[in-house]
Amino acid sequence: KQKCTQCNLFRSAAEAGPHDILKLYNPKGNIINISPGLEPNSPNSCYKLEVVAADCNSEPLGAELAGALGFDLSSMEKRLQGLEKKILIEAGETPAVVYEMKKQVDSFQIKLESVEHLSWLGLFKDLSEGTHKPSPFYHKRTLRKTREECEHVREKFLQMSSLEVSEEVRQYLKTPTFDNWQWEDAEIMVLLQVMYTDLDFIATFNIEPEVLQQFLFEVYRRYNNIPFHNFKHCFCVTQMMYGLIWLTDLRSKMDTIDLLIMLTSAVCHDLDHTGYNNAYQINARTELALRYNDISPLENHHCAVAFEILEKTENNVFRNLSMDQYKRIREGIIKCILATDMTRHNEILNKFKSILPVFDFTNKDHKDVLMMILIKVSDISNEARPMEVAEPWLDCLLQEFYNQVLMPEYQFQQYDGLFHFSCHDQYLLYVIFIVMCLVAIFFNKVKSEVTDVGPISFNSSCSIYLSSE
């Protein structure tokens, strides 16, 4: 916010092309958010705006720019104005979707904090927001990405995909401290491209850059706009897998094809997740539960969508592989994605523990179990990240769970031959019951019979079991 002739804030901005990726660092060298709350910097402790990925096609700086000042003042001003405008648009006017999400999170927080005080018999549930209750087809209408949104991101991604990502970012990408919240979706796609390149997949399997880009775009498109299981989650899991591969030097222990299986499985592992878990799918007897006979409906679906994407030649990053290689990859990806069903957690973990003392990298079964463990580790690795990265993820997860609870199928279902009532239904039931009692008493007909209603018990998920009486 203050001009500082010492720092290279303006110099970087002046040198940057319109499609370059810039990141802002504080004096300690940590990436910081450009937001209205940003502290002003000073000549002694200045921010650094760095070009982390540069557009190779952009014009080099003219000779005069390298004059006495070391930078072109007018282009610097222009660039700065552009950036300021962007900040205003991004920070000043909150997009409707963010605003709506914030409102929902706030109301959820208030509800959580106040539910006990409002409760009578501990059953109260504020349904004042009943009109927001999604219909059973809610996800079909609103969770999918719009064509405009996809096109916008695709364009940005394609513009950026020719950028040369800096060595610092390439190294940072290998660390478990990587902060996903600093990168937008188009940039994330560039970073995924970097992973495929730096693990030598492009060269080893002769993957054409356009095919990889098209594949990544389709993957981006088929992750829904939901709070947790979205494209950013896909990236985090993939990034953790990538980090683990480098950290444990798996490149020297496993074939490149195994690494390709692991990374691609991570990329595809939650494709088309609608935000409702397997228990929900099974209880609500959804299309997925019916299709997969209640056996890991979600994971089977994620995997099926992955291969549906790969069926199209223009997306098929494995199209230059031999039939045998493709078969091996398909088998590996199916195993890895199906392993992310948490109901199989103990089974997989016990298997891993039993082979651990005799683990052998030349044994295919051992390697398969290791690959399953690594995707599982990556899938639930948010908690292992720095607090400022992990904490928002937990909020996202809670929001997704909360949305599930709002679904009508979740609220009303038959249970063990007894009706399983939602809080709202219980409340109504009580009102009806009391009115009936009053009417009965008023007419003095069944005075003695209504005094004993038999046992009524409640469990923690707010079910009510009425005895046959």
Ligand X SMILES: Nc1nc2c(ncn2[C@@H]2O[C@@H]3COP(=O)(O)O[C@H]3[C@H]2O)c(=O)[nH]1
Q: Which residues sit at the interface with ligand X, rule CB under 6 A?
A: 340, 342, 379-380, 382-383, 394, 397
Which of 457, 461 has the CB closer to ligand X? Answer: 461
* Chain position carrying tokens 């031999």: 322
Binding-site partner at residue 368 among ligand X, Zn ion, none, CB < 5 to 8 Å by type:
none
| Residue 342 binds which of Zn ion, ligand X, none (CB < 5-8 A, kind-dependent) | ligand X
Q: Which is nearer to Zn ion, 154 or 376 (CB)?
A: 376
Residue 394 binds what, of Zn ion, ligand X, none (CB under 5 to 8 Å, by partner type)?
Answer: ligand X
Neighbours of 449 (CB within 10 A): 10
379 is in an annotated binding site: yes
Span of 49-57, 97-105, 265-273, 449-457 interacting with Zn ion by CB under 5 A: 265-273
Measured from the CB atom, is 187 or 341 closer to ligand X? 341
424 is in an annotated binding site: no
- Angstrom distance (rounded) from CA 439 to CA 452: 16
Which of 232, 223, 234, 229 shows the shortest CA–CA distance to 145?
Answer: 223
206 φ, ψ (degrees, to nearest 5): 50, 50
Q: How far is the CB of 391 from ligand X (least distance, A)?
A: 9
Assess whether 345 carries a catalytic annotation: no
Measured distance CA(294)–CA(282) in Å, rounded: 6
Q: Which does 450 bind (CB under 5 to 8 A by kind): ligand X, Zn ion, none?
A: none
Dist CA 138 CA 273 (whole Å): 13
With contacts defined by CB under 5 A, name the span among 61-69, 155-163, 373-381, 407-415 that binds Zn ion.
373-381
Q: Which stretch binds Zn ion (CB under 5 A): 19-27, 316-324, 372-380, 422-430?
A: 372-380
147 HSE (CA, 13 A, CB side): 0
Q: Smallest distance from the beta carbon of 450 to ligand X, in angstroms?
A: 45
Q: Which does 437 bind (CB under 5 to 8 A by kind): Zn ion, ligand X, none?
A: none
Q: How far is the CB of 266 from ligand X (least distance, A)?
A: 12
Amino acid in the structure at residue 240? M
Q: How many residues does the chain have?
A: 469
Q: How many CB atoms within 10 Å of residue 313? A: 9
* Residue 380 contact partner, candidates ligand X, Zn ion, none, CB within 5 to 8 A by sort of partner: ligand X
How many CB atoms lie under 10 A from the CB of residue 419?
15
Q: How far apart are CA 438 and CA 297, in angstroms?
A: 48
Residue 270 engages Zn ion in binding (rule: CB under 5 A): yes
- Residue 293's SS3 state is coil
Which lies closer to ligand X via its Cβ, residue 161 or residue 230?
A: 230
Interacting stretch for Zn ion, rule CB under 5 A, among 65-73, 263-271, 284-292, 306-314? 263-271
Q: Contact between 400 and Zn ion (CB under 5 A)? A: no
Q: What is the DSSP letter of 450?
A: G
Instruction: Give the single-character DSSP code of 354.
Output: H
Q: Among the options 19, 117, 152, 229, which is catalytic?
A: 229
Chain centroid to Cα 26, Å, comes to: 27
**From the CB of 250, what's the least distance to ligand X, in Å?**
22
For every residue of 358-403, DSSP letters joined together read G--TT-HHHHHHHHHHHHHHHHT-GGGS-HHHHHHHHHHHHHHHHH
Q: How far is the CB of 12 from Zn ion (least distance, A)?
A: 36
CB of residue 376 to ligand X, shortest distance in Å: 8
360 is in an annotated binding site: no
CB atoms under 10 Å from CB of 12, counted, come to 20
Residues annotated as catalytic (active site), given as ranges: 229
Give me the residues that bind Zn ion (CB under 5 A), please.
Answer: 270, 379
Annotated binding-site members for Zn(2+): 233, 269-270, 379
